[in-house]
Amino acid sequence: MSQILKVAVIGAGVAGLATYRELQKEGHQVVVYEKSSQIGGIWVYNPQVETDPLGLDPKRKIVHSSLYYSLRTNLPRHIMGFSDYPFEVKNKNGELLDFPGHEEMLEFLNCFMRDFGLNEFIRFNTQVVRVEQKDNQWAVESRTSDDELTSEELFEAVVVCNGHYTQPRVAELPGEHLLT
């Protein structure tokens, strides 16, 4: 029998939920930090847009969504499921589309979470603000949505599943200062 670890998973999108499930199957103690009020990451549609879409203003209100309303997956449904959980969610018209939309994808993730009992250890509205290695452990500091700093918590392992659409990537161009 392998060692049981206390593991922090940062993010409850597709990668975070899959990681959580696999660690849970192995018997590890898992805590998932999710900065929003629900799972799904990029698959959560939000009609709001940022006031500074290039992300140049550090004081801007960040709107966590890179998704547009009509977005569909670019991978076929049959390869988007998990090995022990196929993607069988139908759209609102009762169809199994080959390339499902964001609503079906989010419903699939919610069903996955519910069917495997994953919501028990997800800390919603909790953003990780610092991860630091201390001796042979990892210190994770988080902030709740009301900006209250929580106490530091120690883990044997940390898995970062925060996605790659969190911050805009803006190229620095020679002469760009002349455009303003």
Q: Is pLDDT at 169 greater than 70 in this prediction?
A: no
* pLDDT top residue among 171 and 120: 120
Residue range of the domain that includes 84 = 6-179
- pLDDT recorded at residue 159: 97
Indicate whether 1 belongs to any domain: no
Mean pLDDT over 5-18 rounds to: 96
Given CA atoms 92, 49, 56, 59 in this order, what sign does their dihedral have?
negative
What is the pLDDT confidence band of residue 113, given thresholds at 50, 70 and 90?
very high
Q: Tell me whether residue 34 is in a domain.
A: yes
Residue 13 has pLDDT above 60, yes or no: yes
pLDDT in tens, 93-104: 898 999 999 999
Task: Report the chain's mean pLDDT, rounded to a whole number.
Answer: 88
pTM of the model: 0.84
- Other Cβ atoms less than 10 A from the Cβ of 63: the count is 13
Q: What is the average pLDDT across 11-26?
A: 96
- Give the count of domains, the chain: 1
Q: How far apart are CA 174 and CA 144, in angstroms?
A: 40
CATH number of the structural domain spanning residue 65: 3.50.50.60
